[in-house]
A = this chain, B = another copy of it.
Amino acid sequence: MYFPSWLSQLYKGLSRPIRRTTQPIWGSLYRSLVQSSQRTNPEFNSFAVRTNTCGELRSSHLGQEVTLCGWIQYRRQNTFLVLRDFHGLVQVVIPQDESAASVKKILCEAPVESVVRVSGTVTSRPAGQENPKMPTGKIEIKVKTAELLNACKKLPFEIKDFMKKTEALRLQYRYLDLRSFQMQYNLRLRSQMVMKMREYLCNLHGFVDIETPTLFKRTPGGAKEFLVPSREPGKFYSLPQSPQQFKQLLMVGGLDRYFQVARCYRDEGSRPDRQPEFTQIDIEMSFVDQTGIQSLIEGLLQYSWPNDKDPVVVPFPTVTFTEALATYGTDKPDTRFGMKIIDISDVFRNTEIGFLQDALSKPHGTVKAICIPEGAEILPVFLNANRNWNSPVANFIMESQRLELIRLMDTQEEDVVLLTAGEHSKACSLLGKLRLECADLLETRGMVLRDPTLFSFLWVVDFPLFLPKEENPRELESAHHPFTAPHPSDIHLLYTEPKKARSQHYDLVLNGNEIGGGSIRIHNAELQRYILATLLKEDVKILSHLLQALDYGAPPHGGIALGLDRLICLVTGSPSIRDVIAFPKSFRGHDLMSNAPDSIPPEELKPYHIRVSWPTDSKAERAH
């Protein structure tokens, strides 16, 4: 009995449609999870009123008297009952003799998903009735006593509906969804992976787990920070987006090696697959350089990686921001597959094709292309697939150019070449998006481009320190945050051409997702003041405590933050970060189970000296 059939037939309804990842059956997977991350198995029955979990019983337990607690998963002809707990499933034989009438009544009348406690003897299943695909499939429990601990009322929906229903229903009845195999697996894997990270940081490398405040003050540019009214009129706390300032202050305070599994907050309104509160593995250390942080993180992921996945290979490859953009059209390349961007400008230096000529004549003008392997079959819209350069442009390509192109792009028959011309970064960015879309398209047609068991890590380094502001490109803003140190080779550029200065920021990318980012920080107060006040035109008063701290013997330091939700999402192959969070918010930021956020009576707002500005209020004001 493999998971898919088990899921749909036996495990009635408290689960969800099948995912792309392979799904072993409950008991064995959980066992592998447990073994992978712990030296010895934990004792699951300590302090509890059971002797064993449902999932652990084997032939070695034959003859033992056991007491089990669990949910009724399934009942067959008032004879058998399958009992479930977090650990797995076990078959229970309902006694049929008259002396056990009360036990039979309890077990036959309790609705599915009721909780019972049963005591009895572990026995062999009769010959021929073993289930070799169920970890407990050789045994069953001959029940002697039973107790109904809590009955389950009729569920408010057809169980099979729940399987198919929208995510909204799953979120509304999250406590039922949590009983599913997948959610149990995801949350337990998350807990164990974080535990291993803590062991690595705390026990192996002497990091100190320090909790920093979440009731803080507004940070510069903190427009996405939730506010918390205080009891002082007009004064608000902010919920920070990260412990950035605190972790730097800890370095000034000589705490040397800090980490925290930190709750962070970001109010972005409605954005899919973002959560208003999220968790990051937050790390900072003193007397370290960029390669030090990178090695630390590589070791961290290698150490904490689940054993049921392929091991992590270190060191991770590194590309510069410039290379990443030129090769993949993005700063978070998915390096599980090729289809790299090739610069074919030289092929067309003497072209007669007008738009190529035009593009190449401009500053940073380029011609770029990607090659879609076997793309001819799937891209009939763009290219009439008669396999012979039959594109609108093809007629104008000279034979020599054609041969050079085939050589440069390593093009095979059935391949499609997508070509664009224009300003370097825009051309790359466009092809980068097409590259991902074509990969999706190829995979929906059955080609395996991205091995689902492959985890492809990549460091991206040498980012620009500043970017032109969107609203006013003549002004600068930090590419990441204003505490990022400039690249040592580029410090002089800060005073001449700050736009060209690179930073000591680094991003960690996994399968095309940014899962972490960090930097070496500025530890010199003068440099920090110059960047904040002169280059960024920020109000330094709001950061005076940090600037002052840098003046009093701040050590050189750097750090990183890993996005835990996203990382676990990728490790478990989940379609959304909501699948690795016990009680996530909807994409509108609602808790669909409890109905948060909720209305508050006006008298409860009074101590905080705030009033609601109802949309009608402001209309009324305008009418005045």
Contact = CB atoms under 8 A, between A and B. Distances in A.
Top 10 nearest A-B pairs by Cβ distance? Answer: A178-B253, A42-B206, A217-B596, A152-B553, A47-B292, A235-B597, A175-B252, A230-B597, A191-B209, A44-B206
A414 B176 CA distance: 67
Contacts of A619: none
Interface in A174-189: 174-179, 183-184, 187-188
Interface stretch (A131-139, A254-262, A337-345): A254-262
Contacts of A253: 174-179, 183, 582
Contacts of A114: 553
A211 B613 contact: no
Interface in A272-313: 276-277, 279, 285-289, 292-293, 295-296
Nearest to A110: B553
A198 B201 CA distance: 14
30 contacts: A46-B205, A46-B296, A86-B255, A113-B553, A150-B555, A150-B556, A153-B525, A153-B552, A173-B552, A174-B249, A177-B253, A178-B255, A187-B210, A188-B208, A195-B203, A211-B581, A215-B585, A217-B595, A217-B598, A226-B228, A227-B229, A228-B597, A230-B589, A230-B597, A233-B615, A235-B597, A237-B596, A610-B612, A610-B613, A611-B612
Interface string A213-249: 1111110000100111111111111110000011001
B69 A555 contact: yes
Contacts of A35: none
Given A84-B254, A85-B254, A215-B276, 5 more contacts: A42-B202, A47-B296, A211-B582, A218-B604, A545-B594
A184 B254 contact: yes
A43 interface: yes
A173 B211 CA distance: 18
Interface in A108-132: 113-115, 117
B289 A234 contact: no
B233 A176 contact: no
Contacts of A179: 253-254
A597 B277 contact: no
Contacts of A256: 85-86
Contacts of A585: 213, 215
A569 interface: no
Assembly of this chain: how many copies?
Answer: 2
A531 to B, nearest CB: 16
Contact of A211 (B226, B239, B279): B279
Contacts of A348: none
A214 B613 CA distance: 25
A245 to B, nearest CB: 7
Contacts of A552: 113, 152-153, 155, 173, 175-176
Interface residues of A, number: 138
Given A71-B553, A611-B611, A236 B597 contact: yes
Given A86-B254, A552-B113, A552-B153, A209 B233 contact: no
A214 B174 contact: no
Contacts of A43: 204-206
B600 A236 contact: yes
Nearest to A262: B263
Interface in A22-80: 34, 38-40, 42-44, 46-50, 69, 71
Contact of A149 (B188, B206, B556): B556
A433 B205 CA distance: 47
A435 interface: no
A599 interface: yes
A49 B555 CA distance: 12
B582 A246 contact: yes
A277 B245 CA distance: 18
A523 interface: yes
